[in-house]
A and B are shown apart, each in its own frame.
Chain A
Amino acid sequence: MKSKRSDPLFALAIGALILFGLAPLIVMGWRLVNASEALGVLKDPRVMSLLGRTLGLGLSAAALAGLLGAPFGFLVARTKLPLGKLLGALGLLPFLIPPLLLATTWTQVTGLRGAPMTALLIGLSTTPIVALFTAKAAGRIDARREEAALLAGGRPALFAMEWPLIAPAVMAGCAFAFLFAIHDFALPDYVSSVGPKFNVFADEVFAVWQVDQDAPEAVATAIPLVLMTLAALLPALVLMRRGSMATIEGNFEAPKPLDLGAGRWPAFLFCLGFVVLGAGVPLGRLFWEAGGGPQGWSQVALGEAFAMAFELGRDDLRHSILFAFSAASLAVPLALVLGHRAERGGRTARFGLPLLVLLPLAVPAILYGIGTVLLWNRGGGFELIYSSGVLVVMMIIGRFLCFPTLVCQSGVASLNPELEEAAQLAGISPVKRLLRVVAPPLWPSLAGAWTLIFVLAVRELDAAVIVPAAKQTAMYRVFNAVHFGHSNYVAALSLLVIFVVILPGLLWALFSKRRMEILP
């Protein structure tokens, strides 16, 4: 159903997408067009080795995320696993803990660094993405289909029937894990700051920019990374679509939890093991460090560390929360308009709009940050925006708008279009239809989209190292501090950052009876 009279709203949303998300890319592209000699950096033999390393890192991290995430997601969502719900919730923590903090704690615990450690940590961090995709797909298989398969050939037949339905979702999750892996700057930078150097493209782009602030060279350096990202994103989009379409039917009957039989306890141990490795170890290490660590743990030291973290990091925490809250609150209405149009606006909009919102994610975060700086660092009236937190909020919205848009698109897809058509026939205006008919049933999706942006914004570090006001955030303070060694105050501040990240999800879990929808 096309809603042409909602064009002003759509124009506003597209305008915001162009200004916040696409303009930095256009600026960077324009710089490169005017300095095409910069493409010469691609002839550097180092490019091939960087490409190989980045690709290797992405593939290994995605493979690990797939190997752990697919069974974890299925087990917690669909089986009678002991403490399944609790493990499912705790299994999100490795994604919520900023990757840099996973790196600082695990490298301290094991002493391992270099390529395998980088891949392992990014794999752990992105496993919950695959698990979430898997859990969602597995939960959408109709109970009658399962019963038919069970009658036909027991559990083997059941899994044989389910795998093709779940596989697209698993692959889509892996594609996103790959994406996060190849764009991460802070984690590889930290892990290889001591010992064997493990340079990846994101590092190289930052290095090129730092050496002589040469934007065209930085853009040219990033071209292989952009192509690699697009190669992962396009199949992910198709797979997400296929995954969500394959399992939905009318008169849906929710599937029942499956009995694992003798495999119950091994499955429990596997899930518990993942939670311990992905969340228990980092959080435990941070608590230990905050309470004194090698000097001897004490409650007094822990209290002092938190007091100091509050004292020194209060303003940074306030900025982090303010930026994340503002970005999430502005991004969700935009995403609702864009997601709605993407779903209801015909074939071109269905594929074109998601692709457009995904473009800012296709460029390395560092490069996106550089583009934002070049766009707004023009003096005069622009200075007000450039030097303030407004730029950080704009940057977060522009870069991450794709996630809430895809979540909203998926939410709208699950709504019967006749609900809107009935309102249209009754003469309800397009804006009212969106606010009063579409938005209320999508409340769990909107809350999930809001939370996702909030989480990504508080965790954000990769583009923030470039933008001036983003250096006043708690995550940036931690990033700076960990490079100068570990102290109990840094560990306490890290725990506070993690607490801020999980706070919205915690509040939702405590006060809402419905499940939050944070996936497309």
Chain B
Amino acid sequence: MQPDVQLALQLSGVTINVGGEPLLGPLELSLVVGDHLLLVGPSGSGKTTLLRAIAGLGNVTGGVMHVLGQKVHAGPNSLISPQDRGVGLLFQGGALWPHMTVRQTLDFVLTASKVPRKERKQRREKLLELVELKGFDKRSVPTLSGGEAQRLALARALATEPGLLLLDEPLGPLDQDLRRGLLKSLDALSKELRLTIVHVTHDENEARSLANAVARLDKGKLEITQTDSSGSSSTHDPAPEPSREGDESA
């Protein structure tokens, strides 16, 4: 079936193995452009594994996966490499490159994305402004605080201009004030960039205000537990009603 172009993510019967053992699936999920899904579940339920599989870093063994209108997985075959899926991933611990400065980190990604030299500086400054790290260019990664590092990781994930942003416990290591600040940044960003977000968290209440759907992953199964009135996320219907944002864009 040809997926709806407004669908940002569609999982149809996707199964995922870890260490040769089946861990997840079969999973059904559809998100339209602009959706913000909170993914919750007990420790070890496979939330990170699912994010990694969507990004192309996990071991998908069956089913079909579409990302931003492209079929990226069919059965166990990866059809599109991770870097070509239009996906950004904010890793749980940040996974920043410790030997680089803030500027080098972003330039490294922008160069790889073939951003012309003339535009690079402008793009870098915009990204730093977005994550409130303006003036941090020359700071090396190990000197950043937990919140600053997490915001740089977010800027890096956004540098490739992804259509689908995957957040793996982005608030995990932060204190209360920083959590609030980053949540605010995320909210602004998702609206400004019209991002579709899958957001793994263990604190559902905290991030609930940002999301229009909540899905629970437990014992290998995915279940939508809440959607707002216009919520479009579905774990069953592969061709859902478009969301409010989707309607607007249409």
B37 at the interface (CB under 8 A from A): no
B1 at the interface (CB under 8 A from A): no
B159 at the interface (CB under 8 A from A): yes
Q: Which residue of A lies closest to B113 (CB)?
A: A427
Task: Say whether, besides A426-B159, A427-B112, A418 and B98 are in contact (CB < 8 Å).
Answer: no
Task: Say whether, besides A418-B93, A424-B82, A426-B159, A436 and B87 are in contact (CB < 8 Å).
Answer: no
Nearest Cβ on chain A to B11's Cβ, whole angstroms: 19
Task: Say whether, besides A418-B95, A419-B95, A421-B95, A426 and B113 are in contact (CB < 8 Å).
Answer: yes
Inter-chain contacts of A422 with B (CB < 8 A): 89, 91, 95-97, 153, 156
Most chain A CB neighbours (cut-off 10 Å) among B56, B109, B113, B153: B109
Do A426 and B97 touch across chains, with their CB atoms under 8 A apart? no
A425 at the interface (CB under 8 A from B): yes
A422 to B89, alpha carbons, bound, how many Å? 7
A77 to B108, alpha carbons, bound, how many Å? 38
A1 to B52, alpha carbons, bound, how many Å? 11
A423 to B113, alpha carbons, bound, how many Å? 11
Inter-chain contacts of A418 with B (CB < 8 A): 91, 93, 95
Q: Which residue of A lies closest to B166 (CB)?
A: A425
Do A419 and B97 touch across chains, with their CB atoms under 8 A apart? yes
Inter-chain contacts of A419 with B (CB < 8 A): 95-97
Do B57 and A426 touch across chains, with their CB atoms under 8 A apart? no
- CB < 8 Å neighbour of A1 from B57, B87, B98, B112: B57
- CB < 8 Å neighbour of A416 from B55, B93, B159, B160: B93
A429 at the interface (CB under 8 A from B): yes
Nearest Cβ on chain B to A1's Cβ, whole angstroms: 7
B25 at the interface (CB under 8 A from A): no
Do B97 and A425 touch across chains, with their CB atoms under 8 A apart? no
Q: In A409-450, which residues have CB < 8 Å from any B CB? A: 416, 418-419, 421-429, 432, 436-437, 440-441
Q: In B59-112, which residues have CB < 8 Å from any A CB? A: 82-84, 87-89, 91, 93, 95-99, 108-109, 112
Do B93 and A425 touch across chains, with their CB atoms under 8 A apart? no
Inter-chain contacts of B159 with A (CB < 8 A): 426
A428 to B93, alpha carbons, bound, how many Å? 20
Q: Count A-side interface residues using an 8 Å CB cutoff.
A: 18
- CB < 8 Å neighbour of B108 from A416, A424, A425, A428: A428
Do A428 and B97 touch across chains, with their CB atoms under 8 A apart? no
Q: Count B-side interface residues using an 8 Å CB cutoff.
A: 26
- CB < 8 Å neighbour of B109 from A1, A416, A428: A428
Do B112 and A429 touch across chains, with their CB atoms under 8 A apart? yes
Inter-chain contacts of B52 with A (CB < 8 A): 421
Q: In A1-15, which residues have CB < 8 Å from any B CB? A: 1
Do A425 and B160 touch across chains, with their CB atoms under 8 A apart? yes
A321 to B89, alpha carbons, bound, how many Å? 48
Q: In B106-131, which residues have CB < 8 Å from any A CB? A: 108-109, 112-113
Inter-chain contacts of B153 with A (CB < 8 A): 422
Q: Which residue of A lies closest to B55 (CB)?
A: A425
Inter-chain contacts of A427 with B (CB < 8 A): 83-84, 109, 112-113, 160
A423 to B160, alpha carbons, bound, how many Å? 11
Inter-chain contacts of B97 with A (CB < 8 A): 419, 422-423, 437, 440-441
Do B95 and A426 touch across chains, with their CB atoms under 8 A apart? no
Task: Say whether, besides A1-B57, A440-B99, A426 and B83 are in contact (CB < 8 Å).
Answer: yes
Nearest Cβ on chain B to A437's Cβ, whole angstroms: 6
Do A426 and B160 touch across chains, with their CB atoms under 8 A apart? yes
Do B109 and A426 touch across chains, with their CB atoms under 8 A apart? yes
Inter-chain contacts of A1 with B (CB < 8 A): 57
Most chain B CB neighbours (cut-off 10 Å) among A426, A437, A440: A426
A423 to B153, alpha carbons, bound, how many Å? 12
Q: Mark A305-340, 1 if CB is under 8 A from B, else 0.
A: 000000000000000000000000000000000000
Q: List 21 A-B contacts (CB under 8 A).
A: A1-B57, A416-B93, A418-B91, A418-B93, A418-B95, A419-B95, A421-B52, A421-B55, A421-B57, A422-B96, A423-B97, A424-B57, A425-B88, A426-B83, A426-B113, A426-B159, A427-B112, A427-B113, A427-B160, A428-B109, A432-B112
Please report B residues at the A interface, Cβ cutoff 8 Å: 52, 55-57, 82-84, 87-89, 91, 93, 95-99, 108-109, 112-113, 153, 156-157, 159-160
